[in-house]
């Protein structure tokens, strides 16, 4: 099993691109702000790759929106079983972050990254 990927990229697809355009940022601008390549930003926006929580947080910060604003919540009845599981994990994650300070959220991201790395090594 590869790294743990809690976010389902479909949630980030349209919303991130619309927010980027709303802020008059090019893909190049956003890539620079989040420390990723233009290809990475493009792939995220087109739904061609998954993203890590840390990248989603960086996108939210660059776009000056909350982490949860990146998500385009779809009707649960239209989700696959895997998407429903992932949505439930995102909801749990949301509950953990509610009312937390930025340093605390950054610590959560670091912890999540460490868990992902450990899971990748154990695979």
Residue 109 sits in a domain whose CATH number is 1.10.260.40
59 falls within a domain: yes
Q: How many domains, in total, are found in the chain? A: 1
97 falls within a domain: yes
The alpha-helical segments, DSSP class H, found in the chain are: 13-22, 27-34, 38-46, 53-62, 81-97, 102-122
Helices 53-62 + 102-122 axis angle, to 10: 150
Q: What is the pTM of this model?
A: 0.54
32 falls within a domain: yes
98 falls within a domain: yes
* pLDDT tens, residue by residue, 10-66: 444 446 778 888 889 999 999 999 999 999 888 888 777 767 778 888 888 898 887
Give me the pLDDT at residue 91, please: 75
* pLDDT tens, residue by residue, 61-75: 898 887 777 765 555
Give the SS3 label for residue 75. coil
Highest mean pLDDT among 3-7, 9-13, 92-96: 92-96
Burial class (CB in 10 A: 0-12, 13-18, 19+), 43: middle
Domain containing 68 equals 9-73+83-122
CA distance 54 to 34: 10
């Amino acid at each position: 099993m590869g790294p743990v990927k809690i976010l389902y990229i479909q949630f980030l697809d349209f919303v991130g691109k619309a927010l980027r355009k709303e802020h008059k940022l090019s893909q190049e601008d956003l890539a620079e702000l989040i420390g990723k390549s233009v290809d990475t930003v493009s792939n995220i926006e087109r739904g061609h790759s998954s993203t890590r929580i840390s990248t989603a947080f960086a996108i939210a910060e660059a776009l000056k929106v909350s982490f949860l604003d990146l998500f385009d919540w779809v009707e649960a009845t239209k989700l696959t079983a895997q998407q429903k599981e992932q949505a439930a994990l995102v909801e749990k994650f949301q509950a953990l972050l509610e009312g937390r300070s930025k340093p605390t959220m950054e610590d959560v991201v670091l912890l999540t990254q460490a868990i992902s790395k450990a899971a990748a090594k154990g695979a």
